[in-house]
Structures are given as structure tokens and as C-alpha cells.
Amino acid sequence: MSAVEDTIEDHRVRVAAKRRERMRERLLNAVTSTYTERLTSGPPSVDEVVRRADVSRATFYKYLTSVDEAIGIIGQIYIDEMVHSLISIFDGPERPFFRMTTGIQVFLIRSLIDPVWAAFVSRINYLAHDTILLTGITTHLGLSRKQGLVRFEDINVATSFVVGSLMNGIRHISRSRVHGVGYAEELETMILLGLGVKETEAKKIVKDRAAFIQKRAPKRLPWWRDP
């Protein structure tokens, strides 16, 4: 194959890849818009999605195996963006325990503020995949234990407990839509109690983190509004 033929072939490959990327994005956008319109009644069907995207079912299944897979992909994107967004709230080498306890509360508050975000995120099985969130919580838990701030025997059990409690809280908020900041703060208090923190200290930590978030978030988190 000549250099010219190689160039032509490379161009075709790039064009095809861009087409696939655009179609996949089109389908994910259709899932997002249809699900957003019916949060209280559950995810849309494939038929609803393909009508919104104006494509055939065959096209849908060429790129995705199910609506649940699409929701998982979107939820993963939302979570990864959220983790990077959360980093901006800190200034420097805060202790791992401080970052973890702040992050838990910010995630819960985001679910109160943004029901669409919460609906997608709450459907992810975070314990089944190696993710930024899972890795971060595991790391922070391990370092916090070394510093004597929490107590547990098995790091995997502790991670499952924290992530499971957090995700169930987000799921409950997204479905009920009747809870306020008090729910988020009490849930985090119970998580800390489960990690061996004394009750008076757990309540103080939660209140301190709430004050920290209220001071920093309005200027540093683009999605923020007073919950």
C-alpha cells in the first residue's frame, strides 16, 4: 500500500470513529432527555429512546446493550465530573479524613440540589467496578485508620459500608424528593458512627463540614445552589 493509500485509509478510519462517537453521544443524549422527563416513573424504554434519537432499534443495539447500560455510562460520567469538581473545593494538603467526610456530604447535597444527577448516579453499582470514587474512599479510609480517626478490621468491609450507605442515600433522595439537608447530615453522622467515631465527635464533624461547604461551594462549584 502506497503512502497516499495509507493516508486515505487513515482518514476513513478517523471519519468512521467520529461517526460512531457522534451516534453514541446522540443515543446517550436521548436517554438523558427522556429519563429527565420521567424521573418518578423510572427509566425510559428502548422505544422511547430511539424515537427521541430518531434512529432504529437496530442502531441502538449496535452501540448499546440496554438502557440500563446507557444510564450506567452517563452516571459514571457524572460521578467522574463530580469527583474532579469536588477537588476544587480544597486548597491544599487537607487530611484524608477531612476530604472524605467533606466529600460524602457534598455528594449527598448534590443529590438534593440536582434530582437528574441523583437519578443517574443512584443506579450505578459502584462496588462492582474500580472507579475514582471507590479508589478515593478506600485510600482515605486506610489513611484515616492509620491516623486513629476511624476503627475497623477489614478495609473492604469499611469501603462497602461507606459506598453502599452513600449510594443508598442518594437513591432514596432521588426517589422521594422530600428530604432536606438534615437527612444528609444525619446519614453522614450514622456513617461515622459505623466507622467507630464517637457520637458527639461525629455530630461536630458533620456540622464543621457543613460550615466549610457553605463557605467554599458557592464560589467553587458551578452547579451549587443553596439546598
Boundary residue ending a domain (37, 64, 91): 64
Instruction: Round to whole Å and give the CA distance between 120 and 91.
Output: 29
Q: Retrieve residue 66's grid coordinates.
A: 440496554
pLDDT of residue 180: 84
- Same-domain status, 55 and 154: no
* Residue span of the structural domain in which 86 resides: 71-220
Q: DSSP labels for 80-126?
A: HHHHHHHHTT--S---HHHHHHHHHHHHHHHHHH-HHHHHHHTT--G
7 found inside a domain: yes
Please indicate, yes or no, whether residues 37 and 119 belong to a single structural domain of this protein. Answer: no
Mean of all residue pLDDT scores within the chain: 88
What is the grid cell recorded at 86? 469536588
Among candidate residues 64, 84, 102, the one where a domain is terminated: 64
Residue (of 15, 25, 42, 36) closest to 171 by Cα position: 42
Say if residue 172 is in the same domain as residue 90: yes
Same domain, 56 and 104: no
Count H helices and E strands in the chain, helices first: 10, 0
Residue 56 vs residue 176, higher pLDDT: 56
The count of domains in the chain is 2
Mean pLDDT of 195-208: 97
More confident residue, 16 or 132: 132
Q: Tell me, what CATH number does 124's domain have?
A: 1.10.357.10
**What pLDDT is recorded for position 190?**
98
Q: What angle do CA 178, 74, 220 make, to 5 degrees?
A: 70
What pLDDT score does 11 carry?
45
Residue with cell 453502599: 164
Q: Do residues 119 and 10 both lie within one domain? A: no
Q: Does any domain span residue 194?
A: yes
